[in-house]
Amino acid sequence: MEELRLREREAGLVPEAFCIAPAAVAGGLSQDIDTPSLVLDLDAFEDNLRTMQVLAERHGVALRPHAKAHRCPEIALRQVALGAAGICCQKVAEAVPFVQAGLRDIHISNEIVGEPKLRLLAQLARKAHITVCVDHPVALKALSAAMAAHGASVGVLVDVDVGQKRCGVQTPDEAVALAGLAQSLPGVGFTGIQAYHGGLQHKRSLDQRRKSCDKAARLIRRYLDALERAGIACPVVTGGGTGTAVFDVASQVYTEIQSGTYAFMDTDYGSIDWGEALAFRHSLFLLGTVMSTPTADRAIMDFGLKSTSAESGAPQPVGWPGLRCVAVHDEHSILQADDAKNLPVLGDKIRLIPGHCDPTFNLHDSVVAVRGDRVEAIWAISARGLSR
């Protein structure tokens, strides 16, 4: 029997286990991390967590960081340990590893449609305090029926379009009708409104962001007034992001803010004007290796679209003056040097700031947490790929 198995193995009929070694080991040197890898600088990361937490607390507003930015329970646990009221997720399946990791207050900041998703939602809601968004009576009724059928209940936030032109009701009357319906149905309860405007977050000028936030706040107040006139209490107004947090906390309309990227930053958020407003540090990096230097001004890196998203621009090297990422292919990126003396050599490892952190995290199974020149931990991005 053993001999037969040996012969089968030699003939390739029995699968052989290959060992893809982990990219890093806790306690190892940062410079030994294999590439491409996602690297988190813990000092900068922890600074960012504190900065945003202090800002929110100073204004008496809750911080509910958005976990869609990172999909990593270890990160969410640290945000909550510092005082965050809970977290946001964007999808039902995404919330699963966070509940498994012990998070017990999760707002799913999205509409949920379809029986399999409602069934999973009910499972989660029996374990944790869950709120979800609605913007349509048909979806709200289906949500209520599913929760009631599975013996669960969720809080409902009416999603309000404050200018993003994505989901959300278009008028205060619709919001009042949905809130009233939520109050009347089993398995759901009206908790408040969500007013998120993603488009504002990335406006370059600080002053433009301020003015747009003021406009959104005036619109939100119209919704709050309408609910009040209808005699419907609205304990929660959730929304806001990293780019507008400083205005959102002072707006007098939000009870909680949903910022996510503040913990990491990316080239997109890094390029907007921050004025004296807030200072977040770049904590998230893509680590790559120079795998080819075919000419005196060009270095080819060993990462591409499968390790970093590029729809918000290419990642940019840190600490390499005169070097710029000019193209991102499937598994290669091209660095262009302004001068031959600024070109790295074969095997050099280079840190780059990703263009957009959310979809970049979603490409990796883990993030390597470093402090200075040492690897402190490897954290699983447990919700990677969980988009249902």
Does residue 364 bind a second copy (CB under 8 A)? Answer: yes
Does residue 306 bind a second copy (CB under 8 A)? Answer: yes
Residue 86 and residue 65: Cα distance in Å, rounded?
7
Place of tokens 């809601």: 125
Where does this chain touch a second copy (CB under 8 A) — which range of 57-65, 166-174, 177-185, 271-279? 166-174
Applying the rule CB under 8 A, the residues between 6 and 45 that interact with a second copy are 12, 15-21, 23, 34-36
Does residue 346 bind a second copy (CB under 8 A)? Answer: yes
In the bound state with a second copy, the residue whose beta carbon lies nearer, of 90 and 251, is 90
How many residues at the interface with a second copy, by CB under 8 A? Answer: 85
Going by C-beta distance under 8 Å and a sequence separation of 6 or more, which residues neighbour residue 130?
Answer: 95, 106, 107, 108, 121, 124, 154, 155
Please, are residues 197 and 216 in contact by the beta-carbon 8 Å criterion? yes
Does residue 151 bind a second copy (CB under 8 A)? Answer: no
Which residue from 80, 36, 46, 64 is spatially nearest to 285, judged by alpha carbons? 36
Closest approach, Cβ 319 to a second copy, in A, equals 20
Does residue 365 bind a second copy (CB under 8 A)? Answer: yes
Q: Of the candidates 88, 146, 169, 175, which one interacts with a second copy according to CB under 8 A?
A: 169
Please, are residues 144 and 188 in contact by the beta-carbon 8 Å criterion? yes
Closest approach, Cβ 252 to a second copy, in A, equals 26
Closest approach, Cβ 239 to a second copy, in A, equals 15
Applying the rule CB under 8 A, the residues between 106 and 145 that interact with a second copy are 110-114, 116-117, 119-120, 123-124, 127, 135-136, 138-139
In the bound state with a second copy, the residue whose beta carbon lies nearer, of 50 and 166, is 166
CA 116, 117, 123, 125 torsion: positive or negative?
A: negative
Where does this chain touch a second copy (CB under 8 A) — which range of 176-184, 242-250, 322-330, 368-376? 322-330
Q: Compose the 76-105 pattern: x for residues touching a second copy by CB under 8 A, - for all others.
A: --------------xx-x--x--xxxx-x-
Closest approach, Cβ 339 to a second copy, in A, equals 18
Does residue 374 bind a second copy (CB under 8 A)? Answer: no
Q: Of the candidates 225, 295, 338, 373, which one interacts with a second copy according to CB under 8 A?
A: 295
